[in-house]
A and B are shown apart, each in its own frame.
Chain A
Amino acid sequence: MAGVDRLRRVIPRSPRARLGAQGGLTVTAAAVALLLPLMLSTYSMSVAVTVVMYAILGLGLNVVVGYAGLLDLGYAAFFAIGAYTSSLLQLDAHLSFWETLPAAVAAAAVSGCIIGYPTLRLRSDYLAIVTLGFGEIVRITVTNLSVTGGANGLYGIPPATVFGTSIVSESGLYYLGLFFLLIAIVFTGLLSRSRLGRAWRTLREDETASEAVGVPATKVKLLAYVMGAMVGALAGMYFSSQFGTIDPTTFTFTTSVTILLVVIVGGMGSIPGMILGALVVIALPEALRPISSYRLLIFALGLVLLMLVRPQGLWPARRSRQGSFTAPLAPREATATTATAGEATEAPAAGRPEPGSLLLRVSGLRHSFGGVIAVNDVSFDLHAGEILSIIGPNGAGKTTVFNCITGMVTPQRGEVSLRGERSLLKVKPHKIVSLGLARTFQGVRLFEGLDVADNCLAGLSAHQGRLVSRHGLLGRTSAQDRREALRWLTFVGLAGKAHVLASELSYGDRRRLEIARSLMSRPLALLLDEPAAGTNPTEKRELMGLVRQVRNSGVTVLLIEHDMGVVMGLSDRVIVLDQGAVIAEGPPRQIRSDPRVIDAYLGREDHEATEAVGEVSE
């Protein structure tokens, strides 16, 4: 159809220009890999088998550490679970090698949930220790249980068979390994390009912002472990087919560290890096066999050196690029899409509310931090279609109110309800986004390492959290996703900068990107936290125009601001906070001349200060 063709021309699916060089390299590498057995001795082939296995393990750990940023120091546990499950089923249940695949992968996936769950609320350092602990627990368990063969392990495992032939030669094992490696590459590559991959990247960059755009952090983190574990199980299966025996000494902390070395040395997050890492970590010392006893020592020192000099590894992942658009819009198409931006937004899940109807009700909100009352009995209503501003001096409690509304803080007292019906207290931040409340942050929180397009696409996360749906986590960014992103980027004027890194944007553009991103979640109301902070008069005027356009597109606006010019020029109503309490409420003109407001901002006159007699406790 003509429309789809035009769309494809405007937003190419893949960066075709780059494929040329990359494709050539891949083909060469694949050819070399396939022809390797013809070139090397049997001993070298056994090394190659180990390299391939560690490449697979590296790819798996890469999902956990590289994609999701979770430092797993006990990854060997999944390796072990895959190996032992497959071996036990082959020995005791007499299943064939291939028949054990689903069970091994499933067992690893389940263990991924079990291991991941306790780490969800932990900081990165604690997370490392807990995963290390799990790794050791698994190793100790298989060492002590007789069903797993105790310290001697399992033996007598039959070799894998392919089309009736037993795989026993090194070359045979090598090709079997290549097959698993291919599966791992495709699997992790697809993951990287999926919405889940993007969700992981946002989580890694800024967990708070990630939750604020609707990424379900718990689910996404667990999935990282599960996916990584599944790949580890593949390697475990492969390993069990190599020698006919497995024992606990293969699954130690040192193994976990070696896999981590593969990932770090190769370059976190990058697929070719894993293969390079495995080559360096496994094959290189074999080539230097005369000093093999110094191998780990040199590696250890090299690791420290690497961190000091090139912490990103030898072949680090390229920034952004996954599923974003590359070509700037052609002028004709540009005007076409700008026209659509002015129209009403797509209806959010709950249906457009009646202008003027109650959208958000805050009542009796109260919260203190360590003895200081930040929010003191704050109540107000937000009506659909209005621009409501909350103003007040620094420290008046404004951002805390936002945090209470968006679920980042549970207030000690009070109620926040959507449309007067549904309570938002104790609802997770990402769920609140899916219910229709999006927010920006004081000081702008973007995903610095992602480009403009990816930042914007991340805004759809609230509606793409399902696992099995095509519009869910495991799906790829669709043309519809891209259309929406393009529309909102055009709306804020950033369409031409789609592939600029967020960290390289000017301050004004950063603010605009954050707004575009939050509009992507199809909100009922947009909560802006000090959008004019740090802007010069021109930027301020543009911002005000943008906020008006947002409201005209059907999104209610709740605004925290310091800048009176912005507030007076934009708001339908203003609420004034001072020291956590509401001191005034009404239309801008009225607020501007309210003596209490003037005092709160400019400072009280001396004679009024003496009225507050005696008690000075806060």
Chain B
Amino acid sequence: MSAFLQYVVNGLTSGAFIALVALGYTMIYGVIRLINFAHGDVLMVGSFIGYEVVVTLVAQHWPIALIVLLALLAGMAFTGGLGMLIERVAYQPLLNSSRLAILISALGVSLALEQGAQLIFGAGYSAYPNVLSSAGFTFAGARASYVQVGMIVLSLLLMLGLYLFVHKTMAGTAMRALAMDKDAATLMGINVPRTILLTFMLGSVLAGASGVMQGLYYTEINFFMGFLIGLRAFTAAVLGGIGNIPGAMVAGFLIGLIGSFSDGYISSEWSDAIIFAVLIAVLVFKPTGLFGERVAERV
């Protein structure tokens, strides 16, 4: 039982990180119908930005809380900008081209980010200085660190922020309208290109946050990490029903749990395969994801 609960704790933590990334995939797909292969790599970039900040400031003995805060802010700001840049340069010109062309472009961006990171930081792992305490508490034989709880809470706060933005502000409602019906949204006077840009920014900011948090939590980062977490996050987005924001949140945690159980009960070597198998199985029975899609398909 204690092992089970431990897996749950770990799974919820990794699930929080995945959910943040899944939101980006689902929002971007909602507005431009693209699987943004580069999204996971944007997370990776955020992770490295945070790394630079932490390494620099730790050497100068800044207070930990401030370091963490600045790392997060720097990572999020940088990835937000990066996401917008990618959209403008690599996707926007292709919005009227074939779906294949824009998918390939996304692959190209993904590859470019990975290669760039590899060239700058090398192929091995970079290590975040271990700045977070491992203090925690036990319950029913399982252990949860305050950091884990903190990260889950922070992720939930970010998700809540996104949810409020999307549902309570006009800009957010415009985003949802755009995902539902592009022409009708245009006829409301909504500046569609700018709304798309905003969507990318929001998704990328969340990915950056996730990247920094993962760097702080797991401490080892490497140029290929984006690919791996990107696939899990995309699986969560599809599982939750692409375009479905609450669905992505729930499914993110779900995938985290599945991965954790797989790591614990089977072996972490098989976890990715298992997660993929879950995805494939769901799509066979429900081609529109577990909770159904929230994108309009014109008949």
Contact = CB atoms under 8 A, between A and B. Distances in A.
B90 interface: yes
Contacts of A144: 267, 269-270
Interface stretch (A132-140, A178-186, A192-200, A520-528): A132-140
A122 B283 contact: yes
Contacts of B77: none
A143 B269 contact: yes
B102 interface: yes
B102 A300 contact: no
A122 B284 CA distance: 8
B115 A300 contact: yes
B283 A118 contact: yes
A541 B256 CA distance: 66
B227 A125 contact: no
B91 to A, nearest CB: 10
Nearest to B86: A304
B112 A304 contact: yes
A252 B112 CA distance: 17
B272 A124 contact: no
A129 B108 contact: no
A467 interface: no
Contacts of A308: 90, 93-94, 105
B35 A129 contact: yes
A301 interface: yes
B86 to A, nearest CB: 9
A149 B111 CA distance: 30
B99 interface: yes
Nearest to A69: B100
A71 interface: yes
* B35, B109, B111: most-surrounded residue (chain A CB, <10 A): B111
Contacts of A63: none
B97 interface: yes
Contacts of A129: 35, 234-235, 238, 279
Contacts of A303: 104-105, 107-108, 111
Interface size class on chain A is 35 or more
- B contact face: mostly helix, strand, loop, or mixed: helix
Given A137-B277, A303-B107, A308-B93, A121 B287 contact: yes
Contacts of B35: 125, 128-129
Given A71-B103, A143-B269, A301 B283 contact: no
A217 to B, nearest CB: 15
Contacts of B270: 140, 144
Contacts of B283: 118, 122, 126, 130
Interface stretch (A162-170, A291-299, A453-461, A504-512): A291-299
Contacts of A132: 231
Contact of A294 (B94, B114, B119, B235): B119
A315 interface: no
B101 interface: yes
B99 A140 contact: no
A122 B104 contact: no
B276 interface: yes
B193 interface: no
7 contacts: A125-B99, A126-B238, A140-B273, A260-B107, A297-B115, A307-B102, A311-B98
Interface of B: 29, 33-35, 89-90, 93-94, 97-105, 107-112, 114-116, 119, 227, 231, 234-235, 238, 267, 269-270, 272-273, 276-277, 279-280, 283-284, 287, 299
Interface of A: 69, 71, 118, 121-122, 124-126, 128-130, 132-134, 136-137, 140-141, 143-144, 253, 257, 260, 264, 293-294, 296-297, 299-304, 307-308, 311, 369
Q: What are the 4 closest A-B residue pairs judged by CB atoms, nearest first? A: A303-B108, A300-B111, A300-B112, A133-B276
